[in-house]
Amino acid sequence: MAGTETIDVPSLTRLAADALCCAGVSAEDAEISARVLVDAETMGIRTHGVIRIPQYVDRVRRGGVDANAAIRIDRKAPSLAIVDGANGLGTAVGGRALAAALEMAADTGIAWVGCRHSNHCGAMAPYALRACDAGLVLVAGTNASTTMIPWGGSERRMGNNPLCIAAPGGDGAHVILDMAMSVAARGKIRAAQAEGTPIPEGWAVDASGLPTTDPAAALAGSLLAVGGYKGSGLSLAVDMLSGVLTGATFLTDISSWSEAPGAPSGLGHFFLLIDPDRLLGAQAFATAMERFKEIVAGTPRADAGTPVLLPGQREQERRRAALRDGVDVPGDLLAAIRKLASG
């Protein structure tokens, strides 16, 4: 591809970690964060991949993120914990929270871990991938700064809060639903703005509430929720689980990293893990999941050229190809990360 460079996944992961380390992040937190971002990159979720590294470094330098955050895990019960992110990198907070949840679920069969005082934690699919690889079902979400209007409103009061539900596949091909509640992600609109291209109709409205295809006007306005009042309601529900239940900030109390990069975001996240082996037995669950996937994948096609896909199927196919062949990263972005990694 013109303007890109192919790099193998281990090298990209090392480069990402080095860039964060040079910004003052601990080696452990840098490695946790690099894994989340590179996993997203390999899955084709590039708006939440290594493009975030310069943004994260900038926020550290401005004081919006504490590179030396003492992330603390407080066990409330055998299957319950709260993680205080201490304003650290959200990817490190999320990665540590998931690790704690995996440990608890191994003991009890179920775990819920909430996070507060955190920042942008990346896409949820990389966390789901790790949970599914461990044989566990995951339900997770995070809140975000205000980019959407609650149904029936005229002012941005809620974030585009993603919900992720995932289940392990017996053959390693997991079912991973990772969806934000807008018709399109804000990152895609930023990408269109950077490329100087319009966005499709139905993605957003401008500051006056009128439909727009101008990415700049969309960023100044509001994203549109998928499914109208249904998407709006789901976004609010995720914020209750991510913000209210964890003791984090929520709705309009969240600081926007794009508008105030030098201020803590105060985000909340949650991770719920369930061990299907404790419920059904590993083999019974694997057999049921294979039947589940076969029924969906075997659906007669409406268009002979368009296959019926399971959630996360395309992303995992991209990841397998990336692990084999490497990742194509824009040359200017890779150069910027190399510069950050060199100190």
Please check whether residue 95 lies inside any domain of the structure: yes
Do 16 and 66 lie in one domain? The reply is yes
Same domain? 218 vs 178: no
Q: Which of 119, 216, 229, 128 is CA-nearest to residue 181?
A: 229
Judge if 131 and 263 occupy the same domain: yes
Contacts of 152 (CB under 8 A, 6+ apart): 229
pLDDT of residue 2: 57
Q: Are residue 91 and residue 23 in the same domain, yes or no? A: yes
Which amino acid, one-letter code, is at 298?
A: G
The verdict on 208 and 244 lying in the same domain is no
Is there a single domain that holds both residue 49 and residue 120? Answer: yes
Do the beta carbons of residue 166 and residue 312 sit within 8 Å?
Answer: yes
Three-state secondary-structure class, residue 328? strand
- Alpha-carbon distances of 124 from 85, 121, 140, 218, 272, rounded to whole Å: 17, 8, 7, 24, 12
Q: What is the domain range of residue 293?
A: 284-309
* pLDDT attached to residue 1: 45
Domain shared by 95 and 117, yes or no: yes
Residue 49 is predicted with a pLDDT of 97
User: Does residue 322 sit within a domain?
Assistant: no
Helix (H) or strand (E) holding 81: strand 80-84
Alpha-carbon distance 169 to 280, whole Å?
A: 15
Distances in Å between the alpha carbon of 31 and those of 28, 308, 338? 5, 36, 16
| 86: in domain | yes
CATH label of the domain that carries residue 41 = 3.30.1370.60
In a domain, 155, yes or no: yes
Region for residue 63 given its phi and psi (left: phi exceeds 0; alpha: psi -120 to 50; beta: otherwise) = left
Q: Is residue 75 part of a domain?
A: yes
With respect to residue 131, please indicate whether it lies within any of the assigned structural domains: yes
Q: How high is the pLDDT of residue 93?
A: 98
Q: Do 31 and 173 sit in the same domain of this protein?
A: yes
* One domain, residues 38 and 69: yes
Residue 314 within a domain: no
Same domain, 220 and 233: no
Strand partners, 175: 167
pTM equals 0.94
- The answer to whether the CB of 160 falls within 8 A of the CB of 144 is yes
- Residues 303 and 237 occupy one common structural domain: no
Measured CA to CA, the distance from residue 226 to residue 206 in angstroms comes to 17
Do 82 and 197 share a domain, yes or no?
no
Question: What sections of 90-185 are H helices per DSSP?
Answer: 90-108, 125-133
* 343 residues of the chain, pLDDT tens digit each: 459 999 999 999 999 999 999 999 999 999 999 999 999 999 999 999 999 999 999 999 999 999 999 999 999 999 999 999 999 999 999 999 999 999 999 999 999 999 999 999 999 999 999 999 999 999 999 999 999 999 888 789 999 999 999 999 977 799 999 999 999 877 789 889 999 999 999 999 998 888 899 999 999 889 999 999 999 999 999 999 999 999 999 999 999 988 899 999 999 999 999 999 999 999 999 999 999 999 999 999 999 999 999 999 999 999 999 999 999 999 999 999 999 999 8
The answer to whether residue 38 is domain-embedded is yes
Looking at the structure of the chain, the number of domains it has is 3
